[in-house]
């Protein structure tokens, strides 16, 4: 009787009586060997689809030149600054610089923070401050240049329009990057804070470092962002980002990815306002990180042409979902994550069309204590949930609703599902569902385990899967 968990024969009998007389899907069984072969193939396919290799890179050779250059918002060569015309950057600069806005520009080699200070010799731009240096001008790293912060502490002055704009190479190793406001009132109409943006073609690596109190809720200004400018050729290689063993605290969105390839491992994200990681049109590996506390939105969001492996992460306390995937195309593998205490759903999926070549696999995760459903799905054509532990939610363990029927399949295999306020699994608007080898933890005599299109076959499905140990396929 082990497969039944708390689900008793008394409960099964009651559910058989609850079966209605409405038109039923057609049910057949699948051999377990065939099912296991499909699972193995699915995992191989998704692993291959999301795989890429990324490594640390050395900074450009030679000593970079340093100059102060005028900033223009709409002239030839001004494209790195153009997106910030309307977000308060130039207004903040005007409150500090008494002349036409200028930026520090690095070209032709690499430079450390101490070397940069010696080259500038201008305390209005960069000066010693506390245990490091205070930067008060925007700094642009040219495509052939690099800035290395090694064992350093760089403060970015909030009321002077300070930002780091990377077209080349930026490296933080055992360093801290944070904003400082002082006691001067702001000169913008919003809560402006310094930020870091890395354009397509650049490389940024953050190793054993801390980023604190950066970014505000405006385009490409939310924290550490990557992007492809409309002024760059469409074939420009993606920005690359490597983050290892680092901490991000009190950023608007800690990492915002567009047209990039990013690997983020062993890092901690705390107190983000919008998202911890927000990826669009990118490749992402997100491994063994901790995300705690998202003020307004979800912990991790995936959109656009994005391929992602999100594995072994702890995601707690999101204002919305822990993981949100919407209007996205590309393989996604969510594996071995621990998700809890979301004010919305645990995992939220919207407007997705996975394919055999680019599947969506939710595999071996623990989801608990969300205020909505553990997995909430809408307008999704196919999905696989395998080996997850899902429960302790006032709504559904798994809820899938499509306004117009979509082909499927939905695969539910090897999951432990229960301790929910409503039915354990609800499915509406999917033409094919495969399920078996699951353990249900329901409330005997009081609760339907299946709802929606599955309710009409609930008794037969539970008899076949729980009592007879079969894998079943439902088609309609």
Give 260-269 pLDDT, tens digit per residue.
999 999 999 9
Least confident of 84-98, 158-172, 267-281: 84-98
Mean pLDDT of the chain: 91
pLDDT at 251 over 50: yes
Q: What percent of the chain has pLDDT over 70?
A: 91
pLDDT at 183: 54
Q: Is residue 297 part of a domain?
A: no
Is the pLDDT higher at 89 or at 145?
145
Question: What does the block give as tokens for 443?
Answer: 């409330």
Q: Is residue 123 part of a domain?
A: yes
Is the pLDDT higher at 73 or at 252?
252
Q: Is residue 104 part of a domain?
A: yes
**Please, which pLDDT band fits residue 450 given cuts at 50, 70 and 90?**
very high
pLDDT at 6 over 90: no
**Please, which pLDDT band fits residue 5 given cuts at 50, 70 and 90?**
very low
d(CA 220, CA 194): 11
The predicted model gives 111-116 an average pLDDT of 98
Distances in whole angstroms, Cα of residue 376 to Cα of each of 162, 320, 382, 422: 41, 12, 13, 13
Q: Is residue 150 part of a domain?
A: yes
**Please, which pLDDT band fits residue 11 given cuts at 50, 70 and 90?**
very low
Q: Is residue 8 part of a domain?
A: no
Nearest to 195 by CA among 169, 173, 221, 176: 221
Q: What percent of the chain has pLDDT over 90?
A: 82
Q: Is residue 308 part of a domain?
A: no
Which phi and psi (to 5°) does residue 464 adopt?
A: -70, -40
Is the pLDDT higher at 7 or at 322?
322
Query: What residues are paired with 451 via a beta bridge?
Result: 426
pLDDT at 76 over 70: no
pLDDT at 455 over 60: yes
pLDDT at 302 over 60: yes
The angle subtended at Cα 45 by Cα 44 and Cα 47, nearest 5°, is 65
Q: Is residue 117 part of a domain?
A: yes
Query: What residues are paired with 25 via a beta bridge?
Result: none
- 8 A C-beta contact, residue 323 and residue 342: no
pLDDT at 215: 95
d(CA 388, CA 415): 5
- Residue 144 belongs to what domain range? 61-271
Question: What does the block give as tokens for 469?
Answer: 């140990």
The predicted model gives 365-381 an average pLDDT of 97
d(CA 341, CA 339): 7
Question: What does the block give as tokens for 201?
Answer: 């073609």
Q: In this predicted model, what pLDDT tens digit does every residue of 18-63 receive, in sequence order?
A: 444 445 689 999 999 999 999 999 999 999 999 999 999 999 999 9
Structural domains counted in the chain = 1
pLDDT at 15: 46
Q: Note if the bond before 409 is cis, omega within 30 degrees.
A: yes
Is the pLDDT higher at 363 or at 71?
363
Q: Give 403: exposed, middle or buried? Use CB within 10 Å, 0-12, 13-18, 19+.
A: exposed
The predicted model gives 99-128 an average pLDDT of 96
d(CA 105, CA 17): 76
pTM of the model as a whole = 0.92
User: For residue 325, what are the contacts with CB-CB under 8 A and spacing of at least 6?
Assistant: 301, 302, 303, 332, 347, 348, 349, 350, 352, 360
pLDDT at 226 over 60: yes
Residue 42 gets which letter from DSSP?
A: H
The predicted model gives 227-232 an average pLDDT of 93
**Please, which pLDDT band fits residue 313 given cuts at 50, 70 and 90?**
very high
Q: Is residue 109 part of a domain?
A: yes
pLDDT at 21: 41
pLDDT at 195: 96
pLDDT at 430: 97
Question: What does the block give as tokens for 415?
Answer: 């999951």
The predicted model gives 381-385 an average pLDDT of 97
**Please, which pLDDT band fits residue 217 given cuts at 50, 70 and 90?**
very high
pLDDT at 443: 63
- 8 A C-beta contact, residue 372 and residue 349: no
Nearest to 457 by CA among 4, 8, 29: 29
The CATH number of residue 136's host domain is 2.160.20.10
d(CA 224, CA 247): 12
The predicted model gives 104-133 an average pLDDT of 97
């Amino acid at each position: 009787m082990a497969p039944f968990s708390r689900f008793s024969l008394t409960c099964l009998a009651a559910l058989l009586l609850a079966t209605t007389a409405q038109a039923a899907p057609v049910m057949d069984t699948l051999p377990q060997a065939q099912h296991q072969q499909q699972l193995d193939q699915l995992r191989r396919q998704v692993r291959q689809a999301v795989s890429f290799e990324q490594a640390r890179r050395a900074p450009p050779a030679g000593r970079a030149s340093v100059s102060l250059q005028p900033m223009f918002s709409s002239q030839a060569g001004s494209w790195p600054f153009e997106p910030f015309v309307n977000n308060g950057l130039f207004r903040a600069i005007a409150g500090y610089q008494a002349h036409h806005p200028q930026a520090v520009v690095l070209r032709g080699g690499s430079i450390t923070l101490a070397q940069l200070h010696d080259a500038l010799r201008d305390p209005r731009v960069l000066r010693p401050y506390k245990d490091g240096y205070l930067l008060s001008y925007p700094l642009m790293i040219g495509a052939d240049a690099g800035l290395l912060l090694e064992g350093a502490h760089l403060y970015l002055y909030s009321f002077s329009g300070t930002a780091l704009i990377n077209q080349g190479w930026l490296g933080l190793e055992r360093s801290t990057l944070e904003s400082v406001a002082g006691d001067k009132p702001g000169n913008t109409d919003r809560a402006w804070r310094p930020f870091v943006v890395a354009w397509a073609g650049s490389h940024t690596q953050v190793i054993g470092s801390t980023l604190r109190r950066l970014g505000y809720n405006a385009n490409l200004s939310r924290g550490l962002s990557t992007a492809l400018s409309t002024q760059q050729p469409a074939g420009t290689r993606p920005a690359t980002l490597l983050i290892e063993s680092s901490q991000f605290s009190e950023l608007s969105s800690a990492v915002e990815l567009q047209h990039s390839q990013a690997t983020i491992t062993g890092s901690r994200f705390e107190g983000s306002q919008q998202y911890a990681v927000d990826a669009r049109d990118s490749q992402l590996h997100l491994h063994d990180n901790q995300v705690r506390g998202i003020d307004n939105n979800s912990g991790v969001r995936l959109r656009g042409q994005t391929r992602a492996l999100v594995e072994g992460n702890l995601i707690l306390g999101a204002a919305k979902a822990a993981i949100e995937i919407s209007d996205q195309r590309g393989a996604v593998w969510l594996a071995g994550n621990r998700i809890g205490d979301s004010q919305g759903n645990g995992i939220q999926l919207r407007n997705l069309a996975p394919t055999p070549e680019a599947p969506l696999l939710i595999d071996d995760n623990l989801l608990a204590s969300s205020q909505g459903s553990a997995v909430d799905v809408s307008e999704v054509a196919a999905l696989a949930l395998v080996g997850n532990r899902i429960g302790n939610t006032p709504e559904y363990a798994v809820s899938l609703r499509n306004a117009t029927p979509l082909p499927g399949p939905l695969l539910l295999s090897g999951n432990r599902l229960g301790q929910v306020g409503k039915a354990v699994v609800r499915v509406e608007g999917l033409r094919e569902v495969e399920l078996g080898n699951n353990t249900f933890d329901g409330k005997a005599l009081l609760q339907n385990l299946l709802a929606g299109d599955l309710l009409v076959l609930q008794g037969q499905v539970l008899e076949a899967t729980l009592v007879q140990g079969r894998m079943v396929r439902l088609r309609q």
